[in-house]
A and B are shown apart, each in its own frame.
Chain A
Amino acid sequence: MGGAATRDAFGTAIVRVGSDERVVVLTGDLRDSTRTEKFAETFPERFFDVGIAERNMLGIAAGLALSGKVPWAASFAAFVAGRFETLRVSVAYQEANVRIVGTHSGTGVGDDGYSQMALEDIAGIRALPNVSIVNPCDAIETERAVEYLLDHVGPAYLRLTRQKVDDVNAEGYRFEFGKAVQLRDGNDVAIFGTGATVQEALKAADSLAQGGVTARVVNAHTLKPFDEDAVLRAAADCRALVTVEDHSATGGLGSAVAEVLATRDGGAPLLILGTTDFGESGSAEELYEKHGISGERVAESTRQFLESLG
């Protein structure tokens, strides 16, 4: 399937949007890991390494944004979303036009283990009233999302992967902020993925198809604002909904879907797949398998869920 890590695509795209003089890039001793090195070489006067001080990075980004810049503060997702108190007051509450870039999201980080994995970032940021969340599923979507975010107004969180992901979208793909993308149609079940689990949702649909189960696959790249209509359409058309995310099963994509189903007319049974424990060392593939978010495990859980519904 080819494919690249979404952090790589960010590194490419940020240089392209960097020709806009408002763009400032910050990182905390992670210019290599966050793929901001090329930007640093191309626009050294607008690149700042703040050292291992992510709270200060978020505050500086807020100050830059309040002075007309479009700052991109990049670090591991665990370290930027983890500085939540600074994020909520200096960025969100101030309505500072900051782009928070979190690479190394989810268990897909792999060998480094739990302390480097953000598994609660979506849950926390989703509770802030005004911070948008974009979790692109592949390189092309990441590049389009970065281009979109350049002129987006308001704080936004861009969630990226360390590991390579499949190319889900074709060349020419158009990113529409806030609009989920239906990748495949089906009526038995709708599987919603986000970020790196969109490819797993597709694999699960392939596996289910062998058993005669047709699965709709939806790429929920924007988690906030959330595309409620996509959920309601799926609930109307399919017997059940399944969500799969490389994030805690509490507070992320699954919760966003549950909130729609529970508060609107027309519910549907929902299975939420995500992590329910801390992460650990291992390969991304092994961890996806272990935490039940690999394509095959999603297919298996979906089959059981559908059977349980009778």
Chain B
Amino acid sequence: MDTKPPATAELVTRLSEIARELRIMDIEMISEAGSGHPGGTLSAADMVAALFFHKLRLRPEEPDWPDRDRFILSKGHCIPIVYAAMAKQGFFDPGLLKTLRKLGSPLQGHPDRTRLPGIEASTGSLGQGLSVATGMALAGKLDRASWRVYCMLGDGEVQAGQVWEAAMFAPRHGLDNLCAILDHNQVQQTGKVSEILDISPIVDKWRAFNWHVLEIDGHDMSQIVDALDAAESVSGGPTMIVSRTVKGKGVSWMELNSEWHGKAPDPEQTRRALAELRGED
């Protein structure tokens, strides 16, 4: 089905390096803020790098460019990794990253589209983003537009019923301009997803809802790029990329540890985390 060549080694290397930079910016930002969600930002870093530096058609200098692709982070608490990508892309002055979660900052703890141009949707109440993305995709279809809509969800998030309301709607209306991504990092705020409310078999669930499902290793950049490229050539319905990831990926002692869902590292932990991400350990 996919006629494009697989991701080139050069592209994969470039995007992997960007993902590493984003992780570093992310930890610096959350540490500076003194609160935030490192685990789910680190698991999403590779996908966010591929989206913002390979797939999404954006104009950072013209954030409301009508023909841009739309990206919605439904798992809104992980927005710092997206802020990092946006700053690196030139949507705003990287100096603003230091204001994350501070009074008056456009970089709210959860994304606010009214405060930061380039944010497509205000999210954070889990379960709502896919519906908004679906509405955008529907508008795109009504206007016969060429832009596409991407929406990233968390695996704990898909425990919410509204997600499945949207999941039923999008295939029914042939929204092949919609690509959802499940950041399946296995851990939610208070423990393992499989133990709190198991979502498996998650691939079968989305298939049963008539989505085109791709299952990848979400830390293998060539698989990420190939999946995003493949989703573009799917016609007739939406695509779900089940991206199998590791919460806290890149900082060994944060990995798969729910303790690092919603806590900022202290200065010493920050130093150790950054050293590991920079390969200095």
Which positions in A face B, CB cutoff 8 Å?
A: 24, 45-46, 48, 50-51, 53, 55-56, 58-69, 71, 85-86, 88-90, 93-95
Question: Which of A48, A56, A65, A66 has the most chain B CB within a 10 Å cutoff?
Answer: A56
Contact A64 B135 (CB under 8 A): yes
Are A62's CB and B132's CB within 8 A?
A: yes
Question: B136 to A64, Cβ gap below 8 A?
Answer: yes
> Which residues of A sit under 8 angstroms from B120, Cβ to Cβ?
66
State A80–B24 Cα separation when bound (angstroms): 43
Q: Which residue of A lies closest to B130 (CB)?
A: A59
Number of A-B contacts (CB under 8 A): 105
- Find chain B residues with CB under 8 A from A85 CB: 125
Instruction: Report the minimal beta-carbon distance from A309 to chain B, rounded to whole angstroms.
Output: 47
The reply to whether B135 and A59 contact each other, CB–CB distance below 8 Å, is yes
Q: Could you tell me if A63 and B131 are in contact, using CB atoms closer than 8 angstroms?
A: yes
Given the interface pairs A66-B121, A93-B112, A93-B122, the reply to whether A59 lies near B142 with Cβ below 8 Å is: no
A70 to chain B, nearest CB (A): 11
Q: Known: A56-B131, A94-B114. Contact between A50 and B142, CB under 8 A?
A: no
B contacts, CB < 8 Å to A: 112-114, 120-125, 127-140, 142-143, 161-162, 165-166, 168-169, 173
Instruction: Other than A64-B135, A67-B135, give 8 A-B pairs with Cβ distance below 8 A.
Output: A50-B165, A53-B168, A55-B128, A60-B169, A67-B140, A86-B125, A89-B123, A94-B113
**Cβ–Cβ contact A69 & B139, under 8 A:** yes
A61 contacts B135, C-beta separation under 8 Å? yes
Assess the B132–A46 pair: CB atoms within 8 A. Answer: no
| Selected A-B contacts with CB under 8 Å, 14 pairs | A48-B138, A56-B169, A59-B166, A60-B135, A62-B135, A63-B132, A63-B134, A63-B137, A67-B139, A69-B139, A86-B125, A90-B131, A94-B132, A95-B114
Establish whether residues A51 and B168, one from each chain, have CB atoms under 8 Å apart when the complex forms. Answer: yes
| Residues in chain A near residue B140, CB distance under 8 A | 67
Q: Shortest CB–CB separation between residue B114 and chain A, in angstroms?
A: 6
CB distance from A91 to the nearest CB of B (A): 10
Chain A residue nearest to B151 in the complex (CB): A63
B30 CB → nearest A CB, Å: 23
Whether the Cβ atoms of B113 and A53 lie closer than 8 Å is no
User: Once bound together, how far apart are the Cα atoms of A211 and B162, in whole Å?
Assistant: 56
Q: Residues of A contacting B134 with CB < 8 Å?
A: 56, 59-60, 63
Contact A59 B128 (CB under 8 A): yes
Interchain residue pairs A-B with the least CB separation, the first 4: A63-B135, A59-B131, A67-B139, A56-B165
- Closest A residue, CB atoms, query B131: A59
In the bound complex, residues from chain A placing their C-beta under 8 Å from that of B142 are 24, 45-46, 69
Contact A58 B131 (CB under 8 A): yes
Q: How far is the CA of A63 from the CA of B162 in the complex (A)?
A: 15
Q: What separation, in Å, do the CA atoms of A90 and B72 have in the docked complex?
A: 12
- Min C-beta distance of B174 to chain A, whole Å: 12
Q: Which residues of B contact A55 (CB under 8 A)?
A: 127-128, 131, 161-162, 165
CA distance A48 to B142 in the complex (A): 12
Contact residues of A: prevailing secondary structure: helix
For the complex, what is the distance from the CA of A68 to the CA of B64, rounded to whole Å? 12
- Kindly state the separation between the CA atoms of A103 and B114 in the bound complex, as whole angstroms: 30
**Contact B162 A56, beta carbon cutoff 8 Å:** yes
Nearest-CB distance from A129 to chain B (Å)? 11
Asked if A53 meets B165 with Cβ closer than 8 Å, knowing A63-B139, A64-B138, A85-B125, the reply is yes
> Which of chain B's residues have a CB closer than 8 A to the CB of A66?
113, 120-121, 132, 135-136
Which chain B residues lie closer than 8 Å to A88 at the CB level?
125
Residues of A within 8 A of B162 (CB): 53, 55-56, 59, 86
A59:B132 contact, CB within 8 angstroms: yes
Q: Which residues of A contact B161 (CB under 8 A)?
A: 55
Question: Within the assembled complex, what's the spacing in Å between the Cα atoms of A46 and B137?
Answer: 14
Q: Are B136 and A89 in contact (CB under 8 A)?
A: no
Question: Within 8 Å CB of B165, what residues of A?
Answer: 50-51, 53, 55-56
Question: In the complex, A257 Cα to B223 Cα: how many Å?
Answer: 61
Q: Which chain B positions have C-beta within 8 A of A60?
A: 131-132, 134-135, 138, 166, 169
> Min CB distance, A199 to chain B, in Å?
37
Closest A-chain residue to B140, C-beta based? Answer: A67
Given A56-B134, A63-B136, verify A48-B173 contact (CB < 8 Å): yes
Q: How far is the CA of A105 from the CA of B113 in the complex (A)?
A: 32
Q: What residues on B are CB-neighbors of A62 within 8 Å?
A: 121, 131-132, 135
B129: chain A residues within 8 A (beta carbon): 59
Minimal beta-carbon separation of B211 from chain A (angstroms): 15
Complex: A210 Cα to B95 Cα, angstroms = 73
Q: How far is the CA of A162 from the CA of B138 in the complex (A)?
A: 30
Rounded to whole angstroms, the CA-CA distance of A253 and B173 in the bound complex is 41
Q: Tell me whether A89 and B135 are in contact in the complex, defined as CB-CB below 8 angstroms, given that A24-B142, A53-B165, A59-B162 are known contacts.
A: no
C-alpha gap A58/B131 in the complex (Å): 8
Q: Which residues of A contact B131 (CB under 8 A)?
A: 55-56, 58-60, 62-63, 86, 90
> Which residues on A sit within 8 Å (CB–CB) of B173?
48
C-alpha gap A139/B128 in the complex (Å):
35
In the bound complex, CA of A172 to CA of B140 (Å): 39
B128 touches A86 (CB 8 A): yes
How far, in whole Å, are A69 and B132 apart by their CA atoms in the complex?
Answer: 13
Minimum CB–CB distance for A259 against chain B, Å = 26
